Amino acid sequence: MAAADFSPHSSNATALPGLGRALVMAGKLSQKTAEDLYRKAQASNKNFIAELTESGTVSAADLAHTMSTAFAAPLVDVTALDPQRLPKGLIDSKLAATYRLLPLSKRGNRLIVATADPSDHEAAEKIKFATQMGVEWVIAEFDKLNRLVEITTRSTADAMDSVIGGDFEFDEATLKSDTPEEEEPEQTDAEDTPIVKFLHKMLVDAVNMRASDLHFEPYEHNYRVRFRIDGELREVASPPPVIKEKLASRIKVISRLDISEKRVPQDGRMKLKMGPDRVIDFRVSTLPTLFGEKIVIRILDPSSAKLGIDALGYEPEEKERLLKAIERPYGMILVTGPTGSGKTVSLYTCLNLLNKPGVNISTAEDPSEINLPGVNQVNMNEKAGLTFAVALKAFLRQDPDIIMVGEIRDLETADISIKAAQTGHLVLSTLHTNDAPTTLTRMRNMGIAPFNIASSVILITAQRLARRLCPKCKAPVDIPRETLIESGFAEEDLDGSWVPYKAVGCDACNNGYKGRVGIYEVMPISEEIQRIILADGSALEIAEQARREGVRSLRESGLYKVKLGVTSLEEVLAVTNE
């Protein structure tokens, strides 16, 4: 870029910066006025341009036009620019804030940068050194440029104040990974402090709000944080998009993930200490998206496995069937349902009941979600060759009493699990099927012989999670008799001894619901059902026999919860879509 050659008119003129000399040459200032203003700015440690414009000696608009003419640089109106659409990361934010610079674009190996002072050679050299690129100035009015630079380069701490508040503290909560303390990277960048605060706040809030997952989602012009509460996602924060990379790096560091790898998904774990006796585990999953890495954090609260079977929502007869099955010395118990239906908590509740000093329990999971002391938990690692089938074979050489398999995915895993159940071990596992009767036909379709199914499986539980009505605000609702019958109620159920309730909503709940309750179909494998299996009967025949034996289907179990006023009819119809 061409630059004007300004020769001093006196010996004192050499003290003036290039900007001052340009104004003198253009006739905007006298030599003495320029020198006096420059000395005044230096004495007060103030920017020379700020002194010029704030004193009213030269207007910001006049200054910009003078600089544009003197340095043959184009003018730009920065008020027409959208801060959200400006490129990020072209130059360091501290450099931009110090020299009042606004990077606008990149053209080949040159940066287009807005400035009010194109004579600042020091700024140009620092940009060149930092970016290894040339600088092409465009001129902007100082006051307008200053405001936009403040918006785009203000520290993360300022940007996060509106999200976390300036007085947020973490006296009780300590975030850590499984990395030994001496291996933890030091937090040296002061800019990262609000990121740490923000992450802690989100995790603490999620635990306190009984969320199951946190979603950190980057988009082109915004960034949002959502919690999954009672099965529904709710937006809880919208921090500035500028934090997305530092937040992702912070989460990766404490989850022992590779912070330099942004092209492929990664999985990790971390912990949050909430008081002296409570530690929450988190499972972390990263996913590269168009505008950054989306991060989902699953909350794995060990206390959920110790709530007890009564807290899960089993009715007395269902609870009795399950307890009777897990007290058996051998056999297979299967828990089925879609992802997010509470299968893991149900399995761990059973394991917690069985976890006694005289029992050897081993689990194969992908990944292990809840840490349970006294249980030998093994994480699957398919890259290293550690699959469910390999782990099961190893378990059988480890003198086990009880084996838990995270999921039966293939014939080999199913075959080894069944053999373990037939040879004196209690095996607990999960399958992804819609209800209990179809689980047996699914196993048959996997290639397992009917005899092996009938001789090993002792109980199948299908389950769903429905939102509980808030006890403070739920209200009776008048539902037509025909609608109730169409939903599955029998004529004898509509005897007037109960009323359905609807969700209302109050300060203590989430749109009328608070917490969730399990809906279960607990089907023991009776001798009659075994005969149907051996005869290669259909799921429909098994379901009819189970009903004759008093087993409620998922829909019937949900409708019973409606009669008890635990949940609403709408919720049951939604989660038991038949």
Report pLDDT digits (tens) over 535-564.
999 999 999 999 999 999 999 999 999 999
The band of 13, judged by pLDDT with boundaries at 50, 70 and 90, is very low
274 forms beta bridges with: 173
Tens of pLDDT, residue by residue over 455-514, are: 999 999 999 999 999 999 999 999 999 999 999 999 888 888 899 999 998 888 888 998
Choice between 275 and 243, residue whose per-residue pLDDT is larger: 243
Q: What is the C-alpha separation between 399 and 402, in angstroms, rounded?
A: 10
DSSP state for residue 23 in the 8-state scheme: H
The dihedral region occupied by 17, where left means phi > 0, alpha psi between -120 and 50, and beta the remainder, is beta
Inter-CA distances, 379 with 103, 369, 370, 392, Å: 48, 9, 12, 12
At 568 the pLDDT is: 94
90-99, 342-351, 518-527 — most confident range: 518-527
| Residues 442 and 434: beta-carbon distance below 8 Å | no
Residue 17 or residue 531, greater confidence: 531
Distance CA 452, CA 531 (A): 12
DSSP helix, strand, coil percent of the chain (3-state; round to 5): 40, 20, 35
Q: 190 pLDDT exceeds 50?
A: no
Contacts of residue 133, defined as CB under 8 A and 6 or more positions apart, other chains included, come to: 106, 109, 110, 111, 127
Does residue 156 surpass a pLDDT of 70? Answer: no
Does pLDDT of 12 surpass 70?
A: no
pTM exceeds cut of 0.85 = no
Identify the pLDDT of residue 168.
42
Nearest to 156 by CA among 187, 199, 189, 192: 192
* Tens digits of residue pLDDT in 35-54: 888 888 787 777 788 888 88
Tell which wins on pLDDT, 460 or 271: 460
The continuous run of DSSP H or E covering 138 comes out as: strand 134-139
Instruction: Report the range of poorest mean pLDDT among 40-54, 134-148, 395-409.
Output: 40-54
Average pLDDT, the chain: 85
Highest mean pLDDT pick, 13-22, 141-150, 392-401: 392-401
Does pLDDT of 196 surpass 90?
Answer: no
For residues 376 and 365, give the distance between their C-alpha atoms in angstroms, rounded to a whole number.
11
Q: Over range 407-412, report the average pLDDT.
A: 89
Question: Which residues fall within 8 angstroms of residue 82, CB to CB, at 6 or more apart?
Answer: none
Q: What is the pLDDT of residues 512-529, one digit of tens each?
A: 998 889 999 999 999 999
* Whether residue 366 has pLDDT greater than 90: no
Count CB atoms within 10 A of the CB of residue 187.
Answer: 12
Q: Is the peptide bond before 450 cis (omega within 30 degrees of 0)?
A: no
pLDDT, mean of residues 329-354: 90
- Give the pLDDT score at 383: 82
pLDDT band, residue 119 (cuts 50/70/90)? confident
- Across residues 263-279, what is the average pLDDT? 84
20 pairs with which residues across the strands?
A: none
The token pair at 2 is 């061409």
State the pLDDT at residue 8: 40
pLDDT of residue 520: 95
Least confident stretch, 12-16, 260-264, 306-310, 436-440: 12-16
Instruction: For residue range 215-264, list pLDDT tens digits in order.
Output: 999 998 889 999 998 888 999 888 888 889 989 999 999 999 999 999 99
| pLDDT at site 546 | 95
pLDDT of residue 154: 61
Q: In the predicted model, what is the mean pLDDT of residues 64-87?
A: 84
For CA atoms 143, 147, 149, 155, the dihedral sign is: positive
Share of the chain above pLDDT 90, in %: 43
- Strand pairing class (457-469; 266-274): unpaired
pLDDT of the residue at 169: 42
